Amino acid sequence: MEYLDVILGLYNRTTAVVSFLVAGNCSFNRKMSRDMMVPLVGCASHRLNLAVRKMVSTHFDDVIQKVQTLMVALTNLNNSVAFRRLTAPRVLLPKLQNVTRWSSTYSMLELYFLLLPYLAKMPLLSSDWRQLRLTSFDSKKLLKQ
């Protein structure tokens, strides 16, 4: 709470002017809310992220896991070097899913389709490529949405 006092002090304010806290529902935020005796309003962005993640996981979890595994494989040092050579001069870096941002899942899937022409040429991925790539059914399922 001392940190909050310092920050509010920069604006010539005290914690007495705080009417409520908008934050995620973690234990620290709940404790701070109790200590300050103000209501904790759950973060709308966090609730949206949870709702989108639930909807996406019920329909596309297997597909997302395949793409995530592929992106992790592309971050391996040897694969990363080979991949950069293939995609040069264009810089296409693998994107990983961030659990707290549903948009990272979208970005990762979007990037997958941009990478398709390059992935088949990857020497180190060639043996695993069949297992990591999406089936035509999986691709159509994603592209419909």
**Which pLDDT tens digit goes with each residue over 21-80?**
888 778 888 899 999 999 998 877 777 888 888 888 788 888 888 888 888 888 877 777
Is residue 12 domain-shared with residue 57, that is, in the same domain? Answer: no
Contacts from 98-102 at CB under 8 Å and sequence distance 24+?
A: 100/46, 100/49, 101/49, 102/48, 102/49, 102/52, 102/53, 102/56
Q: Which domain holds residue 13?
A: 2-42
Is residue 63 domain-shared with residue 94, that is, in the same domain? Answer: yes
Strand partners, 98: 101
Our count of domains for the chain comes to 2
Is residue 16 domain-shared with residue 82, that is, in the same domain? Answer: no
Judge if pTM exceeds 0.95.
Answer: no
Backbone angles phi, psi at 140, to 5 degrees: -65, -40
Is residue 38 domain-shared with residue 51, that is, in the same domain? Answer: no
Distance of CA 26 to the CA centre of its chain: 19
Is residue 52 domain-shared with residue 22, that is, in the same domain? Answer: no
What is the amino acid identity at position 53?
Answer: R
